[in-house]
Structure 1
């Protein structure tokens, strides 16, 4: 039958729209693209009148995990859960407990907002490990890029899911454990990592992992 997956914010005790479906459904429908507005750090303040303005960037720096419902109830990334959370999840498992948490609504960024500069390369940063990947890592055609988002093809949200998936039962080959499950992330303009020391660019490695797990994107060339 295949397992269902849910994208969870452990700190906010929220899930992104409830369960996102099975892997094949997620690949073709991309509901996880709505993660980008929750992680984005605007380049300038956002007008409070913008819809969902208070939610923009509200997950930045929180522990995130993309977990399958087949996962064993006592198996989680080492050091991610607190003692209280470990106790809380031991009976039903994290997936089933989190299913009753608040379901954060899916949303998109304001299309033409200056705060989400379309002329910049954006990056997703793993704040826990001080690594990052660029939005142009896939070679997606520029006409499909809208600042940190993509209107077609793979995006920064695919990078995050590719490294935070977690289940003791794999789907699509090795789709079982992600090396960054439970880590903290944000999305910002690439200028930020250029100005700061101590960041390691893992774009090529992560892009290959995304292609292996999500499949090839058909919008690479800009003809």
Structure 2
């Protein structure tokens, strides 16, 4: 499977898979990286400040792609990408000109927008690493286990509830238990932004959409705005059950 990266179009940042320690190719990362990706979008309950991220490990030597700089990408805080436009691209994703917004292209006048979108991101965007957060179980006050958590697509105004898409014994706040066999909120975001061949969350998927993960009580309110939101928990279940076999994250979680 292809090499890939997570891209934040608003902050002009990129998470390069090899910097995370999970691997270079999708097939090497899909078992665990979607779980770690969850913390890019998750907002602590009650708006509490998140702890500073731990230091990043140096990226491993890259003999195959000598043109890529070997750097130590800094970790970002929990929730740092919440509400931003994001997508996941691989080396077959097309040109930057065809897939990136004009304002991002214009920010890098020396870049080649006709080049492969993945390489354009490598060469022009700031490299960062995942938050590296580890859930503290029953003692976690930022992401309490007893809360219902929701993934929200802020662009299309749908949400999916953790208590409907994850079995009770597999849930740990917005996260999954270490021995969980099912898929969770991180996998859903991963699938929708380009990591799966699933169109159940909309005709064109959610690549380039804005996402966050919050406690249900933090976002649910009786005003007219909330009434416009669609509960797509059932669609999310269908999405996580119907990945294309070549991109199925569940088969790699062991």
**TM-score over 0.5 for the alignment?**
yes
1:199 aligns with 2:225: no
CA distance, structure 2, for counterparts of residue 164 and residue 89 of structure 1: 24
Rg larger for? 2
Unpaired runs of 5+ residues, structure 1, are none
CA distance, structure 1, for counterparts of residue 37 and residue 217 of structure 2: 21
How many residues get paired?
207
Shift of residue 193, structure 1, vs aligned partner: 4.2
Contact 2:83-2:211 within 8 A present in 1 as well: yes
Superposition pairs for residues 120-199 of structure 1, below 5 Å?
A: 120-140=147-167, 142-151=168-177, 152=180, 153-165=182-194, 178-195=204-221, 196-199=226-229
Superposition pairs for residues 50-69 of structure 1, below 5 Å?
A: 51=54, 55-69=77-91
CA distance, structure 1, for counterparts of residue 164 and residue 249 of structure 2: 15
CA distance, structure 2, for counterparts of residue 67 and residue 178 of structure 1: 15
Using a 3 Å threshold, how does the CA distance of structure 1 residues 162 and 184 change in structure 2: closer, same or farther? same
CA distance, structure 1, for counterparts of residue 127 and residue 249 of structure 2: 31
The corresponding residue for 2:64 is none
Report Cα offsets for 1:10-54 as digits up to 9, x if no partner: 222222343564343333x22122222221111131365675897
CA distance, structure 2, for counterparts of residue 162 and residue 134 of structure 1: 16
Unpaired runs of 5+ residues, structure 2, are 56-74
Q: Which one has the bigger strand percentage?
A: 1
What TM-score do you get using the length of structure 2 for normalisation? 0.69
- Structure 1 runs of 4+ aligned residues shifted over 4 Å read 47-54, 86-89, 171-174, 215-219
Q: CA RMSD in A?
A: 3.2
CA distance, structure 1, for counterparts of residue 151 and residue 80 of structure 2: 15
Contact 2:191-2:197 within 8 A present in 1 as well: no
Larger displacement relative to structure 2 (102-111 or 66-75): 102-111
Shift of residue 85, structure 1, vs aligned partner: 1.6
CA distance, structure 2, for counterparts of residue 56 and residue 215 of structure 1: 23
Using a 3 Å threshold, how does the CA distance of structure 1 residues 54 and 24 change in structure 2: closer, same or farther? closer
